[in-house]
């Protein structure tokens, strides 16, 4: 039987990582962690929609892939990221792991960010 979530609206978020190591950890373990300031927005979106996360390492000029948010963000923190100011851990289901230059997405504009390019 179809999942009730498949009828939810879809939301997309770009997740910026400060380094490639965090992306590797996420792809290996199927988890992610973000700053506490992002948690409320992501959790709200998770309960109301299907959430896709598009990952990019700061300064790379590329997207590193995308994943579906697989759980709400909990209180448990991960030792994988050390004490870099991250909040709780949540599950992610990686769909595509590939380096894609921003220039391939320059035709995409974000209406919620003054129609700036998505990157």
Q: Which CATH architecture has domain 10-117?
A: Roll (3.10)
Per-residue pLDDT for 107 more than 70? no
What are the structural domain ranges in the chain? 10-117
* Whether 29 contacts 47, CB under 8 Å: no
Reported as a pLDDT band with limits 50, 70 and 90, residue 100 is confident
CA neighbor of 12 nearest in space, from 40, 45, 34: 45
How far, in Å, CA of 107 to CA of 50, rounded? 24
Residue with more model confidence, 23 or 8: 23
The reported pLDDT for the residue numbered 62 is 78
The per-residue pLDDT for range 12-46, each reduced to its tens digit, is 998 998 889 999 999 999 999 998 889 999 999 99
How far, in Å, CA of 58 to CA of 75, rounded? 26
């Amino acid at each position: 039987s179809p999942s009730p979530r498949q009828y939810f609206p879809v939301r997309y978020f770009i997740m910026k990582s400060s380094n490639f190591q965090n992306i590797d950890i996420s792809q290996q373990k199927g988890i992610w962690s973000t700053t506490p300031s992002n948690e409320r927005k992501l959790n709200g979106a998770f309960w109301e929609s299907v959430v896709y996360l598009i990952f990019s390492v700061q300064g790379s000029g590329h997207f590193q892939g995308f994943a579906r948010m697989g759980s709400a963000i909990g209180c448990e923190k991960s030792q994988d990221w050390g004490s870099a100011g991250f909040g709780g851990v949540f599950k992610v289901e990686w769909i595509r792991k590939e380096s894609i230059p921003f220039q391939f997405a320059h035709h995409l504009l974000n209406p919620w960010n003054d129609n700036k390019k998505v990157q």
